[in-house]
Homo-oligomer: A and B are copies of this chain.
Amino acid sequence: MSRESERIKEGDKILLFWDQRRQWLLNVEKERQFHTHKGVVKLSDVVGKRYGETILSSLGLVFLILRPTTYDFLGHVARPTQIMYPKDIGLVLLKLGLSSGKIVIEAGTGSGAMTLAMASAIKPEGHVYSYEIRPSFLESARRGLRRAGLDEYVTLVQRDAKEGFEQREVDAALIDLGEPWAVIPHAWEALRGGSPIGSFSPTTNQVERTVVSMRGKFANIQSLECFLREIRAEEGKTRPATVMTGHTGYLTFANKIYPSEQERGSSVAEHA
């Protein structure tokens, strides 16, 4: 990757930015015109500019050309189902210890947002195996991964994770579907000893049943809830934003253990 201040050329991706709620991930195609509420942007005008520069719409309004990152691709996946937000995704990547080279399995591809984030984290030497039964979700996830240039790091498997995973000795597992407890024994089979699992669930009932079903086969079990609030910083009148997301879901993390025969039933329970 060159470190010169390169100019945008055809085929590059840009984030056309108006404000935090109105921004678009676009492929630069010379013939393309992009219609916004603030006028038409000709993508041929973008060619030759630097990322960070501005561009005028047909109405003379100034748009910004930003450089898209994985984060921006996350925000532009389709959202057909229960969703994990960036606040949750960042924590999952960290708690699962994901980095280049790691092999990770995912139960429930869903929108593909978490799949995409994990692919970005484990590339170029790792791999994600993501299981999903609904073909339309797989198709949507596949498109999102291809657009982000991450499809080579992911194998999408059309199969119910409740029937088990094909992989063994994986570094981490993530469960993002409605009945985690039905997948947890399979994830145990697939995981390397001592390695982390994560599970995302919207209700407290799911969290409770997930944690109970982990006991004995997993330790270091911890359930977390993450809140994110925006701060409106302005000179002399800094204050939090009035509206915030009150809930997305709970995250439960744990590590696979092998309880030995003589010790089982005694003090292992204490380590939960």
Contact = CB atoms under 8 A, between A and B. Distances in A.
Contacts of A247: 229, 239-242, 244
Interface stretch (A60-68, A128-136, A139-147, A157-165): A60-68
A81 interface: no
Contacts of A66: 194, 219-220, 255, 257
Most buried by B among A20, A62, A124, A250: A62
A229 B231 contact: no
Contacts of A241: 246-247
A202 interface: yes
A235 B205 CA distance: 9
A270 B123 CA distance: 37
A125 interface: yes
Interface string A1-41: 10111000000000101111001000000000000000000
Contacts of A97: 69-72
A95 interface: yes
